[in-house]
């Protein structure tokens, strides 16, 4: 059973065609710079087989429609397509960044759901418009194929008001929905379920702290299998220090910068989103570069890593208090899966809190869901590779009852 997963951004479309039975990707790719004078499409087909190929084409894609059209052509190409025609696709799952308060679970898309996603645009002006176009184009190009929306926010909808309300006038929540929503929910849910399997416990009995560390990064406190708290807020700018995003800062800083530098609020927001975080501290947002620079004696790079891991420890510590009992801390995503030093610094000297690391396991993680803590560690530390596309495909199968 083949499921197409689409992640349509404002000027890009990422896609993956998966076999939902074994979770293997058959084809994947990305259309970039939609609307620019020149765009590109990078496509991989027959992934994991002897016929695997990769190709890149450069041409303008005036709108998402032309981009998606080209993707369909590649998927059904008589020679190098992985399917004969679109009737082989059993369902389409769309990644939607923001579902507001309405969507607390994946849902089949109809006109009412599409309108619901449009209604949340004020909360996610950079993301939801692209998702809406992606859905509209997919409906046009795959007539009769049922489609499902899977929200980054929905896993976090189990938070209680004490966790999701901000200390601002309550009317702002009532009038505009200003509250903590949280993101990366699909990833947090995926690795939490994998962790439960590893621990041999039902998910509903697991208390976990999931640590998603990619270019965007967030933590989630999971109590009895459900989200209890998370680090991102109204938007994906809040929480820990990220590649280019500042995370939580004193809110007074924004007015102060506007005043001192004569910048508008949106200019400051742009700076906090694109030129802050690790990049703002040391000029680089990629941990691989940061480690190289640390080896070369760059003090700013040292500071950037110290600050980032310090902040993650603060969140893990607060979640230990919130949860009371923790079965496991789980690292995932680009940094979480690939950076043993980041993990070691984050988990150093926590034996009194039940975390005992195994240096050898941490530095030689074998890419399977497994522990990097010592066998005797009361709280397990796991590394689990995330797979948001597979989670979206599984949700699509479940919602459509396939």
Give the residues lining the site for ligand AMP (CB under 6 A). 214-215, 243, 286-288, 333-335, 338-339
Catalytic entry in 22, 110, 119, 152? 152
Angle at 174 between CA 171 and CA 178, to 5 degrees: 90
Residue whose CB is less far from ligand AMP, 285 or 373: 285
Residue whose CB is less far from ligand AMP, 201 or 291: 291
CA distances from residue 102 to 181, 259, 327, 332, 357 in whole angstroms, order as listed: 11, 37, 31, 28, 41
Question: What is the closest distance, in whole angstroms, from the C-beta atom of residue 163 to ligand AMP in the complex?
Answer: 25
Inter-residue long-range contacts of 25-28, CB under 8 Å, 24+ positions, other chains counted: 25/389, 26/2, 26/82, 26/83, 27/74, 27/75, 27/82, 28/389
226 Cβ contact list (under 8 Å, min separation 6): 158
Question: What is the closest distance, in whole angstroms, from the C-beta atom of residue 334 to ligand AMP in the complex?
Answer: 2
152 belongs to the catalytic site: yes
Question: What is the closest distance, in whole angstroms, from the C-beta atom of residue 36 to ligand AMP in the complex?
Answer: 23
Residue whose CB is less far from ligand AMP, 117 or 191: 191
Residue whose CB is less far from ligand AMP, 229 or 339: 339
Question: What is the closest distance, in whole angstroms, from the C-beta atom of residue 43 to ligand AMP in the complex?
Answer: 19
Angle at 396 between CA 395 and CA 401, to 5 degrees: 100
Residue whose CB is less far from ligand AMP, 28 or 157: 28
| Tokens representing residue 309 in the block | 């891991």
Question: What is the closest distance, in whole angstroms, from the C-beta atom of residue 287 to ligand AMP in the complex?
Answer: 4
Q: What letters, b where the CB count within 10 A reaches 16 and e where it falls short, cover 340-366?
A: bbbbebbbeebeeeebbbbeebbeebe
Catalytic residue list = 152
């Amino acid at each position: 059973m083949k499921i197409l997963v689409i992640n349509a951004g404002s000027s890009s479309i990422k896609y993956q065609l998966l076999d939902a039975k074994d979770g293997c990707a058959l084809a994947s790719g990305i259309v970039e710079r939609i609307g620019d004078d020149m765009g590109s499409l990078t496509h991989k087909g027959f992934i994991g087989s002897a016929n695997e190929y990769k190709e890149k084409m450069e041409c303008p894609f005036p709108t998402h429609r032309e981009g998606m059209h080209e993707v369909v052509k590649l998927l059904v190409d008589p020679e190098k397509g992985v399917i004969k025609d679109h009737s082989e696709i059993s369902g389409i799952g769309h990644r939607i960044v923001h579902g507001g308060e309405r969507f607390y679970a994946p849902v089949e898309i109809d006109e009412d759901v599409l309108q619901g996603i449009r209604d949340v645009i004020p909360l996610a002006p950079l993301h939801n418009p692209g998702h809406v176009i992606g859905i509209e184009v997919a409906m046009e190009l795959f007539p009769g194929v049922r489609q499902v929306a899977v929200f980054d926010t929905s896993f976090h909808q189990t938070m209680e008001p004490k966790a999701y309300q901000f200390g601002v006038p309550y009317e702002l929540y009532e009038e505009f929905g200003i509250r903590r929503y949280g993101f990366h929910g699909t990833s947090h849910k995926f690795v939490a379920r994998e962790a439960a399997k590893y621990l041999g416990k039902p998910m509903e009995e697991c208390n976990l702290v999931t640590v998603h560390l990619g270019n965007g990064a967030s933590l989630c406190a999971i109590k009895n299998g459900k989200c209890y708290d998370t680090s991102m807020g109204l938007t994906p700018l809040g929480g820990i220090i990220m590649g280019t995003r500042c995370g939580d800062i004193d809110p007074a800083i924004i007015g102060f910068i506007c005043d001192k530098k004569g910048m508008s609020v949106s200019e400051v927001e742009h700076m906090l989103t694109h030129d802050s975080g690790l990049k703002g501290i040391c000029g680089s947002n990629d941990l691989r570069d940061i480690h190289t620079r640390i080896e070369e004696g760059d003090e700013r790079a040292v500071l950037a890593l110290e600050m980032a891991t310090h902040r993650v420890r603060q969140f893990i510590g607060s979640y230990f208090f919130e949860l009371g009992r923790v079965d496991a801390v789980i690292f995932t995503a680009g940094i979480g899966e690939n950076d043993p030093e980041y993990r070691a610094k984050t988990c150093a000297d926590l034996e009194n809190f039940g975390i005992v690391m195994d240096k050898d396991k941490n530095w030689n993680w074998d890419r399977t869901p497994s522990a990097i803590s010592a066998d005797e560690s009361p709280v397990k530390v796991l590394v689990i590779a995330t797979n948001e596309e597979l989670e979206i495909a599984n949700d699509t199968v479940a919602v459509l009852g396939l």
